[in-house]
Structure 1
Amino acid sequence: MKPVTDTYNAQRRFFDSSATRSYAFRKAQLKQLKKVIRRHEAAILAALHVDLGKHPMEAFGSEVGLLYDEIDHTLTNLRQWMRPQPVSSPLLHYPSGSKIYPEPKGLTLLIGPWNYPFQLLVNPLIGAIAAGNCAILKPSEMAPHTEAITRQVIAEAFDPVFVTVVTGEGQEVIPELLRHRFDHIFFTGSIPVGRKILEMAAPHLTPVTLELGGKSPCVVDASANLKTAAKRIIWGKCWNAGQTCIAPDYVLAHETIAAPLLEHMKAAITQFFGENPANSPDYPRIINHKRFDHLATYLQQGHVEAGGGTDREQLYIAPTILTNVSFDAPVMKEEIFGPVLPVITYRNTDEAVGMIARNPYPLSLYVFSGNRKTEQAFINRVAFGGGCINNTLVHFTNTELPFGGIGYSGMGRYHGRSSFEEFTHMKGVMKTATWLDVPVKYPPFGNKIKLAKMIMK
């Protein structure tokens, strides 16, 4: 695939020219990116509606508005992030001074998913640009209209020797790209594909950020505000029809409040989408028939408390609540990634923690509680990427919070300063004056060890 090699070599030469290193260059590129996104905002929202059925309000909030915030936050803080950071130096090496120099890694490869096909590709790009890197972007071919507008936006915003888009079938294009050594790879997608990316990067010893997924639990204890909890859980589950890596995957409801919580959740579905969500302009669709068919199998794996309706031609699956679900059923072993929500009861915190441990390292954890000790128990006892207390999804929107997984849900962090640092090599340098040359470190050593121990004690 000669074009890939040509693009790679052109970007390598451009990066080696040091053109990307200055604050002025990075600032100008980020401003240009925001300008071009604004110019094509309507087309981006239209593409997302065609690919995923997203209402313009939802598409703007989750795919475009987040990027404006990320760019603005980065522009506000970039100069400070780029400054060399002075740190202390050992007395043994007096007179010395030490600094950490943030340095661009070089050529980056950013591979995006289909569920938020614009935002989850452009968001890490903001960090790559801020850190002074070149980038090749691979959008998901499963959202073809968004792929097309993404390619147009990037082509208008940047010279391809700096940032460009490569399209095509992922199974063909990505292995060809990874024949080359990138200085950082950023992948958002499924756990199985993440493993393959890591394997292909290993021969080059390329660092990889993996933003994956898993089964994100939502715990509702007896002290929670049930009406508010129900609304926020259903909102988080039905956002993008559940095709969200941080969506509540299942609910653990304390046995004393499970029944009223279910009623409030049913009421929330009706409040948001009417008696028949298929007719609601606010309810998205499943990405394709393959995903639809897989999600439909979950509907037989428990008792349907609400929803359950489907229309394969329209790629519609109703917001569905399941009860009487076995932990051995596929719906409780696989990341659901759709609008199907199992609700399981628990008796106490220990039991709930044990249930979560059956699907370890979730990307997110949500706890609804009015009890601070309960909140802290789950925060301290469960290994998870990030999450919320008395809310869902919204931690992703805070540029001050690092976002990323742990264990099976991924590795690496981004958003705000974390994005800058993820794409940056922190180079440590110690500078020693020559006006004094302490002889303790030079041979012959004799009894110098006593002095060294006094200094280093």
Structure 2
Amino acid sequence: MATFSVRSPATGDVLGEHPVGGPEEVADAVVRGRGAAADWAALDWAGRRTRLLAWKRSLARRMDELADVVSAETGKPAHDARAEVLLALVHLDWAARNARSVLRVRRVPSGLLSAHQRSFLGYRPLGVVGVIGPWNYPVYTPMGSIGYALAAGNAVVHKPSELTAGTGVFLASSFADAVPDCAGLLRTVTGPGSTGRALAEGGVDKLAFTGSPGTARQVAEVCARSLTPLLAECGGKDAVLVGADADLEEAAEAIAWGAMANAGQTCAGVERVYAVESVHKRLCELVVERTRSLAAGQHYGPMTLPTQLGVVERHMKEALSSGARAPLGGPESVAAPFVHPVVLVDVPEDSPAMTEETFGPVVAINRVRDLDEAVERANASPYALGSAVFTGSRAAGLAVAQRLNSGAVSVGSVLGFAAVPSLPFGGTGESGFGRIHGAEGLRAFAVPRSVTVKRFAPYADLTSFATAPDRAARAVELGRRLHARF
């Protein structure tokens, strides 16, 4: 079988060799997963919870081991890798403990017309879920699908990014070690985009994909041929809105972290800032002050995907040639494999630095007349994933948050929603569709099942030819009058 190498983005050293999974290998993983899924679904809620929590505890004990793999493959500092693993543990814990309460069978009202029926709503597992994960957060992001899909009663076949294949292999092997009686429930297949395509064509019951909008469209086209449901998380161009009465020190600190952490390689990271004109200059000074001291290679790692260096450089050059200023950094900040911090000011709204996902340690801070204009500009983006609001009062910030199109908003912080497992995460437009995390994330990997149980014979059974016509007519007329009146 053909193999490929995973290399350190910082040094270029080979970290591991992995097989290239083709259609046969992927199909075999799906078939074997389907057998494991049947046994897993047959367990009661308590049985699944016990096993998932055992895996969680094992991952917690092996945090440093997993973080070392993540750090080596992505280049991110060890502390950031450990924090990523912790976030994944928080979500796995929530999914395991809350699956029953969210997905269990429950009674629902039947309504007057069907008062003779007792109605129930429940959820059944899909079967086998395919997960195509990203390289920027190779544990936290795919686990938002893997953990919730498993908790909902499914088997999972995971195709990690070819840049972080070792992380994906670790996740599957750690599950097998922690839960040996369900060892085949989580399987990893490694390889490039062709392996992901094979997974989309491989007969899974749903596919969860994280990546670019362009690749998502290709995946959607493949899934459409077999009507395979798709959940797509496709990145963002997240905005921070800063009001005239905001705490600028607090806002600047949050912006600096949100834009520069993980070298800006965060789908819900800060890329755009809209500050009311009266505080724009001071905010820019504070953001520059905080980012100037950051050191690439120390506070954040290299660009994990080498080709992203060209995207970052192009965005900066086009912004500056269109009239923007750079109080910190510029094209010279690109020094492969790193990009040093860049702050842009007054970038034209039609510049790629404002319309396309930069995915690097670059933040653009533009001035606006007021928060109304800030909302308008934030919502003008084709992306709608996350955003943040800083105002003098939390109530005012919440009011602004309600007007934003993004799928998640933090008031007084950035990315606050990422660590709250009960909140769903996802976007619309170029940011994709569907939700992971929270109750919505559990339901995303289950199928609703409606059941009615007849309690007694109704006055007029409208589903029987034996019902006298006059009696059926009276029942329909009574219903019509009720709905016409109330």
Query: TM-score when scaled to structure 2?
Result: 0.86
Q: 1:446 aligns with which of 464, 470, 485?
A: 470
Q: 1:45 aligns with which of 43, 48, 67?
A: 67
- 1 CA distance for matches of 2:39 and 2:176? 21
Aligned runs of 1:127-276 on 2, under 5 Å?
127-157=148-178, 159=182, 161-170=184-193, 172-270=194-292, 273=294
Q: Would you say the 8 A contact 1:305–1:321 is kept in 2?
A: yes
Which amino acid counterpart does residue 98 of structure 2 have in structure 1? N
1:288 aligned partner? 305
- 1 CA distance for matches of 2:228 and 2:51? 25
Q: Which consecutive unaligned segments of at least 5 residues does structure 2 have?
A: 1-22
- 1 CA distance for matches of 2:56 and 2:395? 43
Q: Secondary structure at the match of 2:58?
A: helix
Q: Does 1:72 align with 2:89?
A: no
Name the CA shift for 1:361/1:286 in 2 (closer, same or farther; >3 Å). Answer: closer
Which amino acid counterpart does residue 6 of structure 1 have in structure 2? D
Q: Secondary structure at the match of 2:163?
A: coil
Q: Secondary structure at the match of 1:9?
A: helix
Q: Would you say the 8 A contact 2:276–2:371 is kept in 1?
A: no
Name the CA shift for 1:310/1:157 in 2 (closer, same or farther; >3 Å). Answer: farther
Query: Identity rate of aligned residues, in percent?
Result: 29
Q: Would you say the 8 A contact 2:69–2:167 is kept in 1?
A: yes
1:85 aligned partner? 106
- 2 CA distance for matches of 1:194 and 1:236? 25
Deviations 1:130-188 (A, max 9, x none): 10001100101123443443454345346454210000112x11222222332111111
Q: Secondary structure at the match of 1:403?
A: coil
Deviations 1:241-270 (A, max 9, x none): 110000111111111111110111122224
Aligned residues: 448
Aligned runs of 1:313-392 on 2, under 5 Å?
313=336, 315-371=337-393, 374-376=396-398, 378-392=400-414
Name the CA shift for 1:326/1:150 in 2 (closer, same or farther; >3 Å). Answer: same
Which amino acid counterpart does residue 310 of structure 2 have in structure 1? D
- 1 CA distance for matches of 2:169 and 2:443? 30
Which amino acid counterpart does residue 307 of structure 2 have in structure 1? K
Q: Secondary structure at the match of 2:430?
A: helix
Q: Secondary structure at the match of 1:367?
A: strand
Query: TM-score when scaled to structure 1?
Result: 0.91
- 2 CA distance for matches of 1:242 and 1:438? 66
1:109 aligned partner? 130
Q: Would you say the 8 A contact 2:176–2:183 is kept in 1?
A: yes
Name the CA shift for 1:318/1:175 in 2 (closer, same or farther; >3 Å). Answer: same
Which amino acid counterpart does residue 457 of structure 2 have in structure 1? L
Which amino acid counterpart does residue 127 of structure 1 have in structure 2? Y
Q: Which consecutive unaligned segments of at least 5 residues does structure 1 have?
A: none
Name the CA shift for 1:193/1:109 in 2 (closer, same or farther; >3 Å). Answer: same
My pick for the range that moved more, 20-29 or 297-306, is 20-29
1:297 aligned partner? 314
Name the CA shift for 1:414/1:295 in 2 (closer, same or farther; >3 Å). Answer: same
Deviations 1:372-417 (A, max 9, x none): 6753553333311111111101211111211111222121112132
- 2 CA distance for matches of 1:149 and 1:85? 37
Q: Does 1:399 align with 2:425?
A: no
Measure how far apart 1:81 and its partner are.
2.6
Which amino acid counterpart does residue 292 of structure 1 have in structure 2? L
Which amino acid counterpart does residue 268 of structure 1 have in structure 2? R
